[in-house]
Structure 1
């Protein structure tokens, strides 16, 4: 009888223990941040209030630094990993997270090289090392198989990751993926200059947002404050110029279902992107009307419905 109670207690204890507990302590780079960093982290937390879902923040030690991951949704649900766009941080998913979290366990990862809550302390020398870093984070999260949703550069990184993880990735959703299927219009030089443009003066930031979004007024002022503060921080966008579209052979080797969505006023993609997506073994490409590059914000409701339907 005593053995029965001990076994029962052990099972209850294990079931109540969260495997991520060891990653939940907030590190000192946040609790004892400098004035400028503290202002950014405060703005980040203000944007998180827009999420309208319960979430946890994890700080995972890795070879190159601390990976910040926001986790939401039912614990035993099918996992979805979110890779944000350039300089956007994981908070960019505020119009989409409630929908995604209803039926999935969602893991939003802040890229180590950009503004966010991840913390870089060992330099990353190549795109391959960036992918290795993502794999390290996914290993720590103990995700055996999962879906990936990537926006803009996050879409390019998602495909890069998928090419070496075919068996683990259940599906890909690419939202206006940058430099993934075709060169950016009107030339590749445009993409090389985006980081510099976004990191310049206030007026240039506004002009850039207007070129990326079909409705800048629709972007939350709370998020914009965080976004602009993030651009004032150092951002390691050194791999942008090395990005190039994947070959047809590489793209057609993707065996998982792939959904590609672009805006009808998308400066990063054109209809050729959709045509190529539809030629993949399990690919589907669509154009979202009245949307720019930031289609997950411009037409959040439409994009959310399409992502939900695809993930089912």
Structure 2
């Protein structure tokens, strides 16, 4: 039983806090969330970590020893979206999977997020609240942006970054992303929302028979975020990142120009390993889980050996 009440109802809109639109929407979302969580390995611990902007839900998986890997999900997703990856990534190290503050999930926002500095501050506070002293941080899509934003503004405790298709980071978002984002803002038929999700996911099955797809669809329908637009990092900010960074860009991505994004990452990152996977879409984590596991494991092993 959760001890922290979720934000439900329009009163939270006036306070500029992410919230579920109504009680029925929260119940729909919670059923989808619990169903998706059931497909994950059993977490070793479930934590609700207080920060200055709300309480962060985090799940710990894997062994006790090692430098932990913190997973940051994409927009309108949550910790269960890592179903395809968790068992593999947690085989050799501890893994924390988070629900982002201000996004659908079981984290509960208590203070408005108004800037990139605020976004970095809650994540840094979360890391400070975990028992380990240093962490690898892996983010997908907007989670990749959040990882870079953390390293730029609050780098303490960050050992390395792994960025899977980071949005608004190495290339500006495209008009296609704006169209897809309308699914979380405007009321629309479920079939159209699934079509938009399939578009950004390279044609992947987005029917609600799939637990993760159902979770994301409910997050788009039933949760109202209140977040600032991601601040596009300047060249100097990226060049100033002083930890090893692995970047995976999908050749079939619609969120940015893949070639230009990979080129900017290669040009600016001082300690960067940049891979362009031509056959992958923005849903790369579900398309290539074994390849991601092998690539990430090799990268982190190299980081920890130096």
Quickly name the TM-score band, shorter chain normalised. Answer: 0.7 to 0.9
Q: Secondary structure at the match of 1:278?
A: helix
Match of 1:159 in 2: 148
Q: Distance in 2 between matches of 1:72 and 1:291?
A: 27
Mapping of 1:1-312 within 5 angstroms? Answer: 26-29=2-5, 34-185=23-174, 189-199=175-185, 200-217=188-205, 221-240=210-229, 242-244=230-232, 246-269=233-256, 270-279=258-267, 280-312=269-301
In 2 relative to 1, CA 58–202 (structure 1 residues): closer, same or farther, beyond 3 Å?
A: same
Superposed CA deviations along residues 276-303 of structure 1, whole A, max 9, x for unmatched, are 2223221111122422111111222222
Q: How many residues align?
A: 282
Q: Which runs of 5+ in 1 are unaligned?
A: 1-24
Asked if 1 retains the 8 angstrom alpha-carbon contact of 2:63 and 2:93, the reply is: yes
Shift, 1:184, TM fit? 2.5
Shift, 1:237, TM fit? 4.7
Shift, 1:102, TM fit? 0.9
Q: Rg larger in 1 or in 2?
A: 1
Superposed CA deviations along residues 16-72 of structure 1, whole A, max 9, x for unmatched, are xxxxxxxxx731527x99443233222212111222354422112333322111111
Q: Distance in 1 between matches of 2:292 and 2:70?
A: 17
RMSD over equivalenced CA pairs, Å:
2.3
Superposed CA deviations along residues 187-226 of structure 1, whole A, max 9, x for unmatched, are xx54444422344431321221222123413887111222
Shift, 1:162, TM fit? 0.5
TM-score scaled to structure 1, two decimals? 0.82
Q: Distance in 2 between matches of 1:83 and 1:54?
A: 16
Shift, 1:88, TM fit? 1.0
Q: Secondary structure at the match of 2:223?
A: coil
Superposed CA deviations along residues 131-180 of structure 1, whole A, max 9, x for unmatched, are 11111111111332110001111111110100134452111110100010
In 2 relative to 1, CA 293–169 (structure 1 residues): closer, same or farther, beyond 3 Å?
A: same
Asked if 1 retains the 8 angstrom alpha-carbon contact of 2:127 and 2:157, the reply is: no
In 2 relative to 1, CA 63–247 (structure 1 residues): closer, same or farther, beyond 3 Å?
A: closer
Shift, 1:117, TM fit? 0.6
Q: Distance in 1 between matches of 2:51 and 2:234?
A: 31
Superposed CA deviations along residues 222-277 of structure 1, whole A, max 9, x for unmatched, are 1122221222223325313x532x22221111121111112121011311222222
Q: Distance in 2 between matches of 1:142 and 1:54?
A: 16
Q: Distance in 2 between matches of 1:194 and 1:215?
A: 14
Q: Distance in 1 between matches of 2:43 and 2:72?
A: 19
Q: Secondary structure at the match of 2:182?
A: helix
Asked if 1 retains the 8 angstrom alpha-carbon contact of 2:62 and 2:94, the reply is: yes
Q: Which runs of 5+ in 2 are unaligned?
A: 9-21, 302-306
